[in-house]
Amino acid sequence: MAAELVHGTCVALGNRAALLRGDSGCGKSDLALRFLALPGEGELRPVLVADDQVWVEETGDAQATASAPGTIGGMIEVRGLGITEMPFVAEVPLVLVCDLVEAEAVPRMPSDPWERTKIADVKIALLKLSAFEASAPLKLKMALLLASEQ
C-alpha cells in the first residue's frame, strides 16, 4: 500500500477528513482553526487531524486515510500565539483535498463530477477555496458533507 507525507493541514468532520494545501502563509492553519471553532452536531464534530504535515496512506478499495506524524500529533500553529496543543483524531478517511487559492481563482461552480487529485495512489475529490473569506469554514464543512457523493 502506498503512503505519502504531504505538506498541509488536515481537519475532520466526523469520519471524513479534508486536506488543506497551499503555499506557506496562504491560511491553512487559520482556516483550520476557524473550522474547528464551528459547533458540532452529534458525531459531526470538527476536529484536528494534523497541522503542517499529514500522512496519507492508501487503505485499499480506492480509499485513503489521513493521520499526523507522531511528533506533531495534537499540535497546531496559531500565528501570533505559537504552537498550541488541542484535541485531535489519530486517523480518519480522507475524502477531500482543498487547494487554497486567491478568491478570484475559485471557480463559481465546481466541475461535475468534482476534479480529482492523486495522493498515495488514491484519487480524491479536489476543490479550490479562498481561506480568508468569512464563509470559508462553512464552505469547508459543506464540502466535506458533499464529498462522499462525488
Residue 145 lies in a domain: no
Residue 46 lies in a domain: yes
State the residue range of the domain holding 116: 3-140
Residue 104 lies in a domain: yes
Alpha carbons within 13 angstroms on the beta-carbon side of residue 142 total: 7
Residue 70 lies in a domain: yes
Residue 116 belongs to what H/E stretch?
strand 115-119
Tens digits of pLDDT across the chain (150 residues) = 899 999 999 999 999 999 999 998 899 999 999 999 999 988 899 999 999 999 999 998 889 999 999 999 999 999 899 999 999 999 999 999 999 999 999 999 999 999 999 999 999 999 999 999 999 999 999 999 999 776
* CATH number assigned to the domain comprising residue 95: 3.40.50.300
Contacts for 79 with CB less than 8 Å, ≥ 6 apart: 29, 30
Residue 147 lies in a domain: no
Residue 115 lies in a domain: yes
3-state secondary structure of 137: helix
| Count of domains observed in the chain | 1
Residue 146 lies in a domain: no
Closest to 92 (Cα-Cα) out of 24, 40, 148: 148
Residue 149 lies in a domain: no
